[in-house]
Amino acid sequence: MQLSVSERKRADIARAALVLFARDGYERTSVDAIAAEAGVSKRTVYSHYGDKEKLFLLVVSDTYDQMRERFAEIIGRMTGEVTDAEKSLIATIREAVAEVSHSPERALLLRLVIAEMPHMPVLLELWRNRGITPILTSLVTRLAAAGLLSADDPEQAAGHLSALTFGQINSRSMMGTILLEQAEIDQIITSGVHVFLCAYGAGKPA
């Protein structure tokens, strides 16, 4: 679908703002600089986003939502027809990691949120409300209903799955700032899923 002129300008402003906020920080980034980077007037920035704080929060939330939507699409492909939980979880998480790691916005967004969260507590609430745990909880619930997992508390189980896979990758890559070899990523995912299933595999005490 082709974007309108107004939609293109809004997208250009958002991309420029994300890059500059991540590079220079919130305080040192001016609306003038964002407008120049986006190739629009300062008035255009204000007309689309209001003030700088609104622009900052919308850029963070919109960027994260876009990444989360791509993640949800991948996770959602696992259906009730799954017969091997281990193979399916490894393949799905590998695909999700590949999609996220190749997103140029991810490292920018993570650095930005980590740097600015102490000064903007609202970012913590935004981050919690848009986490991936609810998506993984839905997946765990479906697998448990199919008899492939034993999890009385799907949300807690999803948190453990996330910590053992995505959390380990984030830790070793310094939140995406260090490029990991594919073999290391595969090892993290495979071992993480194995440990998860040792606790939550079918037939395990819930």
| Every domain range in the chain assigned CATH 1.10.357.10 | 63-200
Token readout for 81 is 């027809």
H/E segment holding residue 165: none
Query: Which of the listed CATH numbers 2.40.100.10, 1.20.140.160, 2.140.10.30, 1.10.10.60 matches domain 1-50?
Result: 1.10.10.60
- The model's pTM is 0.78
Using CA atoms, how far apart are residues 174 and 177, in angstroms rounded to an integer?
Answer: 5
Per-residue confidence (pLDDT) for residue 157, from 0 to 100? 96
Handedness of CA 122, 123, 124, 130 (dihedral sign): positive
Angle at 201 between CA 200 and CA 203, to 5 degrees: 105
Per-residue pLDDT tens listing for the chain (206 residues): 566 878 888 889 988 998 898 889 899 999 999 999 999 999 999 998 888 999 998 888 888 888 888 888 888 887 657 788 999 999 999 998 888 766 767 777 777 888 888 888 888 877 777 778 888 999 999 899 889 999 999 999 999 999 999 999 888 887 667 788 999 999 999 999 999 999 999 876 65
Per-residue confidence (pLDDT) for residue 80, from 0 to 100? 58
- Backbone φ, ψ for residue 201 (5° rounding): -65, 160
Per-residue confidence (pLDDT) for residue 1, from 0 to 100? 56
The angle, 0 to 180 degrees and rounded to 10, between the axes of the packed helices 154-162 and 133-145 is 120
Q: Which CATH superfamily is domain 63-200 in?
A: Tetracycline Repressor, domain 2 (1.10.357.10)
How many Å from the N-terminal Cα to the C-terminal Cα in the chain?
A: 47
Per-residue confidence (pLDDT) for residue 173, from 0 to 100? 81
Using CA atoms, how far apart are residues 193 and 96, in angstroms rounded to an integer?
Answer: 14
Q: CB atoms < 10 A from the CB of 110, how many?
A: 18
Per-residue confidence (pLDDT) for residue 75, from 0 to 100? 86
